[in-house]
Amino acid sequence: MLSVKELVESSSVRSVPSNYINLKSPEDSMVYETENIPTIDFSQLTSSNPLERSKAIQQLGDACRDWGFFMLINHGVSETLREKVLRATQSFFDLSEEEKKKYAGEKVLDPIRYGTSFNVMVDKALFWRDFLKCHVHPHLNVPSKPTGFSETVDEYIRKSREVVGELLKGICGSLGLEENYIHERLNVELGAQMLIANFYPPCPKPELTMGLPAHTDHGLLTILLQNEFCGLQIQHKGKWIPVNPLPNSFLVNTGDHLEILTNGKYKSVLHRAVVNIKGTRISIATAHGAPLETIVGPAPEFIDCDNPEAYRAIKYGDYIQFQQSHELDRRSCLDRIRI
């Protein structure tokens, strides 16, 4: 199986090969530019000023309930480190195919897995995307090449874990829970953290294919870093909205397991990646969840006569296995465990 990068570089591609064509429905082709996703100021969320922090916690709760996505500013992760991890990721994808294919894992939960599309064993049409997936916590698993890649990723994922830790405390506050409730209930300190680096080369006919079709993310929260090329679109009230992040911001979305835990109070929403003709888009997602062996179900605090249990409890690792083993069929994997 050729990577998309190899496909683009090995020939003068003027059209999209037929096995990459993903035609959208008319409603999916409509994109609305008029709405902006919420912005959360991390410095206010961690402020020693109670009023400032309280306001930020409320905004965070509103974003998780109404949007499932927000832009995070003033997060404390330096621009230098952000640029460094983007360059390191580019350097990995610039390795020879022979080097990269050493990491072509066959199993969903392999510690390191390099590949193309989403899951070539089940995809009806291929996606214009190469990827590297690494399980980076509680144990760091990353390729040994290129030089310095491991150290850069390690520094970055530690920082992102600190940010997620504070966001989860704020989310607990917005739900009226003790700030460490989620940490303690799901043993987040030893929880799984996965780094997914996505590489979307320029495409001659971007309207004919997709980087990734509509899907939701497993886990509690995903932090997304991207280079200068935008491509993320989210579904809000049935409409597709392009996301144009502020400089030096992160995009954060609530994952399926936050929706499960809150029994549907906070939403994991559909999103997708489109490609462009201008240049290579790189995005780096870090998904944060429970330990793979932990069974996650709705917390009792969110279950009562008016709100019965809405999801089956499922082991976190089994959920990932299930999601990643099936094609992305433009719906949430949550639909499969709803009661």
Separation CA 81–CA 331 (nearest Å) = 34
Mean pLDDT of the chain: 92
Contact (Cβ atoms closer than 8 angstroms) between residue 289 and residue 255? yes
Angle (CA) 256 311 300, round 5°: 100
Q: Where are the domains of the chain?
A: 4-10+29-336
In DSSP terms, 193 is beta-bridged to 137, 288
pLDDT band at 1 (very low <50, low <70, confident <90, very high): low
Q: Identify each DSSP E strand in 168-319 by its residue range.
A: 193-200, 212-215, 221-226, 232-236, 239-242, 250-254, 271-273, 281-288, 295-296, 314-315
Give 269-309 pLDDT, tens digit per residue. 999 999 999 999 999 999 999 999 999 999 999 999 999 99
Share of the chain above pLDDT 70, in %: 96
pLDDT band at 35 (very low <50, low <70, confident <90, very high): confident
DSSP H or E segment with residue 45: helix 42-45
Model confidence, pTM: 0.93
For the domain made up of 4-10+29-336, give the CATH fold: Jelly Rolls (2.60.120)
Burial of 15 (0-12, 13-18, 19+ CB in 10 A): exposed
Q: Which two tokens stand for residue 283?
A: 């995005």
